[in-house]
Structures are given as structure tokens and as C-alpha cells.
Structure 1
Amino acid sequence: MKRNVSELLAPAAAVLLVALVVAAAAGAWPPFVAVESGSMEPTVERGDLVVVTSTERFPWGGLVGHAEPGAPTRLGGAGDVVVFNPPDAERRPILHRIAFPVSAGEDWTDRADPALLDGDCDAIEACPAPHDGYVTYGDANGEYDQSAGIAPVIREEWISAKALVSVPNLGWFRVGVDAAIARLGLFPTAVGVGGAAAIAGGFGAMLMGRMGRGRDGPR
């Protein structure tokens, strides 16, 4: 019985260990973000899993916009891609690219790309900038977030992490779990996921056991 229990728990323990190691290296928890929209396509698509790090983590410290000289290449473009969540937002955290920093009271449209603006400063609620922060955008969107009304000027304290790399399609599990929690609740989802993990672990242990007995059999 003890052996069967340990074999069932081994896959979950291995996944947790990997997550803890990645979190320690990245300096952020959770160290992964599942992408739920297509606003960063084509480099990052819905269902991808993105590895994130603390905004100050060496050697990726600081926040750099795409318009700044020597901006690093992140996820298919120049500048940092960050996870932010304005306190008054009703949606989930957003994963978008930093365009450039702005100062309180600044008419930042003077430095903006006209193709990503819908009108001048007088027509944009987030202009002049109400506070210091960042102008952001999704690579696949046609406007800055602040021009389209998606988000206000992003304060630095609203940014929880920045993205390093993305892995195609590995985020679908997280997206599915979140959808199940929203539909069924946390406890039923936890029971279902735990049961599925136990069954998968038991099947894998049984398969490995049979393979081991086959290798030890008559020759």
C-alpha cells in the first residue's frame, strides 16, 4: 500500500519540484503564465505557457520599453513584455509589451507612433499622463492600451513580472483549470484534477512495473 501511494504521488511531487526550482531561479510566483488571448500573436498565442521573472531579477533587471535605445529582444520584438494588473481592472492580469515610460502630466502622444493612436491627447482619457508609469500595447493590437481604453498608464507597482520565453500550447491545462474553477468551483475542480493525476500516476507506475518485469524475465 505504501509503495502504491508513493508511486501515485511521485508525478505530482516531480511537477511541484520543477515549479519550485523555476520559481527560485525566476524570483516570481507563479513562475508561469498561461496566455488566454491572442493580443500578443503571432509570437505568443492563446494556450501558450510563458515563463516569467521578477522585474528586478539579474540578469534581466529593470524595465525597458521598445522605443528605448538598445532595448532587448523579448518574445519576437524589442522591449520587455510584462504582466500587469491595474487595481480597478475587472479582467485578469494582462501580458503586453512596454512601449515607453511617461511622466505625470506629460503629453506622451508627442513620442508615440501615430499608427497606434486614436486621436490626439485631448481625445485620449489617459493623456496627459495622470501619473508616472508606462504606455503599453499588445503586438497584435492596432492601438496602445491607453489609446484604446484597455488600461490606464501603468504604474510600476502594478507590474508583477516580465516574460522571458514562451512554450507553445503548454498553457491549455492552466486555461482549462481556470475555466473549470469559474464554472464548477474550486473544490470540485481540485477533486477532479487530483483524481485524474492519481489515475495517470497509477497507470504510469503500472506500465513502468510491467516494463521492468519484462526486462527481468527469461532470456
Structure 2
Amino acid sequence: MRRNAAELLAPAAAVLLVALVVAVAVGAWPPFVAVESGSMEPAVERGDLVVVTSTERFPWGGLTAHEEPDAPMRLGGTGDVVVFDPPDGERRPILHRLAFRVSAGEDWTDRADPALIDGDCDAIDACPATYDGYVTYGDANGEYDQSAGIAPVVREEWISAKALMSVPNLGWFRVGIDVAIARLGLLPTVAGLIGIAATAGGVGAVLIGRLGRRRDESRP
């Protein structure tokens, strides 16, 4: 009885252990972000799972924008791709690329890519910058976030993590969990996931056992 219970719970424990190991390695929790929009296509598509790290985690520490000379390659382009929370609290965290850093009072349109802005500084609410921060954009979008009204200049303290790599399609599982938590609550969702993992583990154990018995019976 105890052995069967342990076998059923083993898959759920393994999933949790992997998540904890990744979290310890990258210094962020949760260590994964599910992509819910196409704003970072083609490198990152809806349903992809992005592994993120703390902005100060060695050896990936610090933030480097697209226009800096030593900008790293991240998710199909140069410059760090970060997760930040818009200050209005009405939108979900945004996964976009850092374009360049700006200073308080700066007319940042003077050094912006003309193809990514709509109008001059007078026509953009986020210009001039009212504080130090970053101009950001989604690779697939036609404007900077600050020109399109998606977000004001992004303060560094709004940035919770930065991206390291993406895994295609695995994000749909995380999206499903978020939807379940929103509709059912955290505890029922966790209980359901444990039940699913236990059931899957039990079915797998039964199948493996049957295959083993058949192999033994076929031996002379």
C-alpha cells in the first residue's frame, strides 16, 4: 500500500524537484514564464516557455540594452529580454526587449529608431522621460512600448527577471495552470495537478509492469 502510494506520487515529486533545481540555478521563482502573446515573434511564439533568471544572478548579472556595444544575444536578437510589471497593475507582466537606457528629463526620441516611434517627443506621453529607466519593445511590434502607450519608461525596479532561453510549446501547460488558479483557486489547482501526476504515474507503472511480465513470459 505504501509502495503504491510512493509510486503514484513520484512523478509529481519529480516535477517539483526539477522546478526547484532550476529555480536555485537561475535565482528566480517561478523560473519559467509562459508566453501569451506574439509580440516577441519569430524567436518566441505564443505557448512557448521561457526560462528566466534574476537580473543580478551570476554569470548573467546586470542589464544590457539592445543599443549597447556589448549587448548579448537573447532570444533571437541583441540586448536583454526582461519581464517587467506595468505600474497601473491592470496588465499582466510583459516580456519585451530593452532598447536603450534613458535619463530623467531626456528627449529620448533624438536617438530612437525613427521606424519605431509615432511622432516627436511632444506627441508621446512618455517623453521626455520623467525618471531614469529603459525604453522597451517587442520584436514583432512596430513601435516602442513607450510610443505605443503600452508602458511608460520602465524603471529598473519594475524588472523582475530576464530571459535566458525558450522552449517551444511547453508554455501552454503554464497558461492552463494560471487559468485554473484564476477560476478555481490555488489549492484546488494544486490538488488537481497532484492527482493528474499521480494518475499518470500509476498508469505508467502498470504499463511498464505488464511489458516486463510479457518479456519474462517470452523467455525460454
Bin of the TM-score, shorter chain as denominator length: over 0.9
The answer to whether the aligner puts 1:47 opposite 2:47 as a matched pair is yes
Deviations 1:127-158 (A, max 9, x none): 11011110000000000001111011111111
- Cα deviation for residue 47 of structure 1 reads 0.3
Worse-superposed segment, 174-183 or 49-58: 174-183
Unaligned runs of 5+ in 2: none
- Alignment length (residue pairs): 219
Q: Counterpart in 1 of 2:89?
A: 89
Identity of aligned residues (%): 83
- 2:75 aligned residue: 75
Tell me the CA shift for residue 216 of structure 1. Answer: 3.7
Partner AA of 2:203 in structure 1: F
> Whole-Å Cα distance in 1 between the matches of residues 59 and 207 of structure 2?
43
Q: Does residue 196 in structure 1 map to residue 196 in structure 2?
A: yes
What are structure 1's unaligned runs of at least 5 residues? Answer: none
Matched, 1:124 2:143: no
- TM normalised by structure 2 equals 0.95
Residue of structure 2 equivalent to 1:60: 60
Q: After the TM superposition, which of the residue ranges 205-214 and 88-97 deviates more from structure 2? A: 205-214
CA-to-aligned-CA distance 1:101-150 (integer Å, 9 cap, x gap): 11111111111001100111111111110111100000000000011110
Deviates more, 1:94-103 or 1:202-211: 202-211
Of 150-159 and 190-199, the range deviating more from structure 2: 190-199
Deviation of 1:167 (Å): 0.3
Map 1:1-219 to 2 at 5 A.
1-217=1-217, 219=219
When structure 1 is superposed on structure 2, of 199-208 and 1-10 the one drifting more is: 199-208
Whether contact under 8 Å (2:10, 2:198) holds in the other structure is no
Q: What TM-score does the superposition give when structure 1 sets the normalisation length? A: 0.95
> Which aligned segments of 4 or more residues in structure 1 are displaced greater than 3 angstroms?
183-192, 214-218
Alignment RMSD: 1.4
Q: Which amino acid aligns with 2:161?
A: A
